[in-house]
């Protein structure tokens, strides 16, 4: 099945279009871009996707991303042709998205005050590089390969760089990663080195690293693989597709993600908008985005905590000047994001406009949690035999808080996305050595 695809500016009053064959992250007026498809998608594809779980030696069926290839067919290939898939689609031997689907976790359910059947958590850490990033990196690299790119570039709090480096090395593409010096988990930094990326250390935070990497990309023509790249977002939509497929395309009441640069918020919203438009889902689940208290720009702006104004997408007439004023206020008062959850230590989320669009479509909400709450959230996931990193601990922590506030009701169905696995074992060790921590399990001396 082939469809026509193109790129389009997200601002409805601008809506400039570009072919798939160009690489840019903004329209010429500076707005983010979407990948768009002409036409609707027939519902019988649901059966085809389900059938591909018995993948019969085909890695594009095995992949939890490319299993849904008709819905993200920006490469405009014949999706049934194995040779076309092999020629165009970038996959790590079918591993991206393969193991991630919703799981019940009874101890987490008890912790958040829910019935164990109503809470599902999807561990995206079980991707080949250990985070959800592989979903979008396989599609971004597919686009890069279509364009004959020789060098990709990104800024990262660690997981993006690990994933970019892994996919780039597999495709023989050079990879430069800009990271905030001393602010990323050692396991993530180790991956960038291990996979042969060139690490460039920035004296500053992720926001500074992103600005520097975009500048470098402009100068050198390197291909940006951060989530402002619309082809990354296409791959990340499959996280939502896997959730919906597991639930037989009957959406839950809530979908909960951590909020960092807000690529996930953007991709989840886009996936839901499309599925709803095509008539694949009849109900729109609400997105709940959880910020760390120490890096809470979305929480602050969305909930009117800065100058009392609640920032909204407003059908595309969003007050970007207000966002800029808040960023200037942050700079002037030296408000820097600070949290132990370095993955989401981000002050100026690059996808904020797309995220606002997602929140508007889903009647979403934004909450914040403390580091301590995230530690407990991470640890209770561990006690269910699943592994996640501190930033992902924001999800159980956030669900618990929203349950306490009564926003999430007792009988609601909730799906939370655990975005990455633990890549700094010292975080877990430190937690468990301190008996004052809620779930601490300190070692005993022998006799």
> Which of the ranges 20-28, 75-83, 154-162, 330-338 carries the binding residues for ligand F0G, by CB under 6 A?
154-162
> Which of the ranges 12-20, 45-53, 166-174, 387-395 carries the binding residues for ligand F0G, by CB under 6 A?
387-395
Among 11, 292, 362, 392, interactor with ligand F0G by CB under 6 A = 392
257 neighbors 289 (Cβ within 8 angstroms): yes
Among 73, 157, 205, 292, interactor with ligand F0G by CB under 6 A = 157
Residue 264, interface with ligand F0G (CB under 6 A)? yes
Name which of 45, 223, 206, 262 is nearest 139 in CA terms: 223
Rg (Cα) of the chain, in Å, rounded?
21
> Which of the ranges 68-76, 105-113, 261-269, 310-318 carries the binding residues for ligand F0G, by CB under 6 A?
261-269
Residue 205, interface with ligand F0G (CB under 6 A)? no
Residue 156, interface with ligand F0G (CB under 6 A)? yes
Contacts of 100 (CB under 8 A, 6+ apart): 64, 122, 123, 124, 126, 127, 132, 239, 242
Of 52 and 423, the one with the shorter C-beta distance to ligand F0G is 423
Of 146 and 359, the one with the shorter C-beta distance to ligand F0G is 359
Output the CA–CA distances (angstroms, integers) from residue 366 to 255, 257, 361, 372, in the order listed.
12, 10, 14, 18
Rounded distance, CA 96 to CA 63, Å? Answer: 6
Of 344 and 402, the one with the shorter C-beta distance to ligand F0G is 344
Output the CA–CA distances (angstroms, integers) from residue 282 to 57, 99, 248, 251, 285, in the order listed.
34, 27, 12, 8, 10
Rounded distance, CA 412 to CA 115, Å? Answer: 9
**Contacts to ligand F0G from residues 405-444, by CB under 6 A:** 419-420
The two structure tokens encoding residue 146: 């279509």
Rounded distance, CA 265 to CA 252, Å? Answer: 16
Of 176 and 389, the one with the shorter C-beta distance to ligand F0G is 389
Among 97, 102, 123, 260, interactor with ligand F0G by CB under 6 A = 260
Counting residues that bind ligand F0G (by CB under 6 A) gives 21
Name which of 213, 235, 188 is nearest 74 in CA terms: 235
Residue 258, interface with ligand F0G (CB under 6 A)? yes
Of 118 and 226, the one with the shorter C-beta distance to ligand F0G is 226
Residue 391, interface with ligand F0G (CB under 6 A)? yes
Of 118 and 157, the one with the shorter C-beta distance to ligand F0G is 157
For tokens 């996936």, the residue is 271
Of 11 and 264, the one with the shorter C-beta distance to ligand F0G is 264
Residue 259, interface with ligand F0G (CB under 6 A)? yes
Q: Would strands 17-18 and 151-155 be described as parallel, antiparallel, or unpaired?
A: unpaired
SS3 label, residue 202: strand
Q: Which residues bind ligand F0G (CB under 6 A)?
A: 131, 156-160, 227, 258-264, 343-344, 389, 391-392, 419-420
């Amino acid at each position: 099945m082939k469809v026509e695809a193109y790129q389009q500016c997200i601002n409805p009053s601008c809506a400039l279009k570009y072919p798939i064959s160009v690489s840019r992250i903004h329209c010429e007026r500076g707005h983010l871009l979407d990948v768009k498809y002409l036409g609707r998608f027939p519902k019988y594809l649901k059966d085809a996707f389900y059938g591909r779980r018995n993948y019969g030696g085909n890695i594009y069926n095995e992949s939890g991303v490319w299993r849904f290839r008709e819905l993200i067919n920006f490469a405009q290939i014949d999706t049934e042709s194995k040779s076309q898939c092999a020629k165009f689609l970038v996959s790590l031997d079918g591993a991206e998205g393969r193991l991630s689907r919703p799981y019940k976790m009874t101890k987490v359910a008890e912790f958040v005050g829910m019935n164990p059947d109503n809470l599902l958590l999807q561990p995206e850490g079980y991707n080949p590089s250990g985070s959800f990033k592989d979903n979008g990196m396989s599609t971004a690299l597919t686009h890069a390969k279509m364009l004959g790119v020789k060098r990709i570039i990104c800024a990262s709090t660690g997981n993006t760089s690990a994933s970019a480096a892994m996919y780039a090395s597999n495709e023989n593409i050079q990879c430069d990663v800009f990271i905030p010096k001393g602010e990323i988990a050692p396991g993530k930094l180790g991956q960038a080195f291990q996979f042969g990326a060139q690490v460039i250390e920035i004296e500053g935070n992720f926001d500074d690293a992103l600005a520097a990497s975009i500048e470098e990309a402009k100068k050198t023509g390197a291909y940006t693989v951060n989530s402002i790249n619309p082809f990354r977002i296409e791959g990340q939509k499959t996280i939502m597709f896997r959730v919906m497929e597991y639930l037989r395309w009957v959406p839950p009441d809530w979908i909960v993600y951590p909020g960092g640069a807000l690529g996930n918020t953007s991709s989840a919203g886009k996936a839901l908008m499309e599925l709803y438009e095509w008539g694949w889902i009849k109900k729109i689940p609400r997105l709940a985005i959880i910020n760390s208290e120490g890096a809470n720009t979305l929480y602050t702006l969305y909930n009117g905590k800065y100058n009392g104004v609640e920032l909204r997408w407003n059908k595309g007439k969003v007050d970007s000047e207000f966002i800029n004023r808040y960023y200037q206020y942050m700079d002037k008062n030296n408000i820097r994001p600070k949290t132990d959850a370095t993955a989401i230590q981000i002050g100026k989320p690059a996808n904020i406009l797309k995220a606002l669009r997602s929140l508007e479509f889903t009647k979403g909400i934004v909450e914040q949690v403390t580091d301590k709450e995230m530690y407990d959230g991470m640890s209770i996931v561990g006690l269910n035999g699943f592994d996640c990193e501190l930033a992902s601990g924001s999800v159980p922590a956030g669900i618990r808080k929203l349950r306490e506030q009564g926003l999430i009701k007792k009988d609601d169905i909730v799906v939370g996305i655990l975005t990455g696995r633990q890549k700094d074992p010292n975080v877990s060790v430190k937690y468990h050595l301190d008996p004052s921590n809620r779930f601490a399990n300190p070692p005993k001396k022998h006799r």
